[in-house]
């Protein structure tokens, strides 16, 4: 995003090119052309639990999970993406249960990828690479 609003990525990278700011009305059209990484954080969660007792990524009973509102949010995002007819390639998500559930509710499919969790870029080089490598036109 630039000071004047959302920006499109350069042809060499998925990172925004600050010289090419988009008006809000043009964002959906740009996304329909493909070439972007669409990145989401998980939707709303139930803060009555935390991840302290988690034994593995598959241990959903000991993780903070999506709240009912978070599930509704994810479904609504999925409906809007579908209505916009955006071309989507592979969907990747952190293997945390809440991120996998968010991705499934949005897209119906997801591949777990442990190195795309949030955090310092030095801890998760795979996440950084998603934004460095160009995405082919025709898909996001």
Model confidence pLDDT, tens digit, residues 41-67: 899 999 998 889 989 999 999 999 999
* pLDDT score, position 2: 41
Asked if residue 63 belongs to a domain, the reply is yes
Q: 117 is in which domain, residue-wise?
A: 41-132
Model confidence, pTM? 0.77
Asked if residue 57 belongs to a domain, the reply is yes
Q: Is the dihedral of CA 117, 123, 128, 129 positive or negative?
A: negative
Asked if residue 94 belongs to a domain, the reply is yes
CB 14 within 8 A of CB 135: yes
Asked if residue 81 belongs to a domain, the reply is yes
Asked if residue 55 belongs to a domain, the reply is yes
Per-residue CA distances from 57 to 50, 87, 123 (Å): 13, 29, 17
* pLDDT score, position 116: 79
Backbone angles phi, psi at 34, to 5 degrees: 85, 180
Among 39, 86, 47, which residue's Cα sits nearest to residue 69? Answer: 47
Asked if residue 16 belongs to a domain, the reply is no
Asked if residue 60 belongs to a domain, the reply is yes
Q: Write the CATH number for 90.
A: 3.40.50.1240
Asked if residue 126 belongs to a domain, the reply is yes
- Count up the domains in the chain and report the number: 1
Query: What would the two tokens of residue 107 be?
Result: 């897209």
* pLDDT score, position 125: 75
Query: What would the two tokens of residue 61 be?
Result: 């009973």
* pLDDT score, position 5: 45
Ranges under pLDDT 70 in the chain: 1-22, 24-25, 118-123
């Amino acid at each position: 995003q630039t000071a004047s609003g959302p920006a499109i990525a350069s042809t060499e990278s998925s990172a925004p090119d600050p010289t090419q700011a988009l008006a809000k009305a043009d964002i959906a059209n740009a996304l329909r052309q493909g070439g972007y990484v669409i990145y989401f954080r998980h939707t709303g969660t139930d803060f009555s639990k935390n991840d302290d007792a988690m034994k593995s990524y598959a241990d959903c009973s000991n993780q903070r999970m999506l709240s009912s509102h978070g599930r509704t949010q994810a479904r609504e995002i999925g409906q809007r993406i579908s209505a916009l007819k955006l071309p989507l390639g592979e969907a990747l998500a952190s293997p945390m249960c809440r991120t996998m559930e968010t991705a499934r509710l949005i897209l119906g499919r997801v591949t777990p990828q442990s190195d795309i969790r949030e955090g310092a870029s030095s801890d998760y080089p795979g996440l950084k690479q998603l934004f460095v490598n160009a995405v082919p036109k025709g898909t996001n």
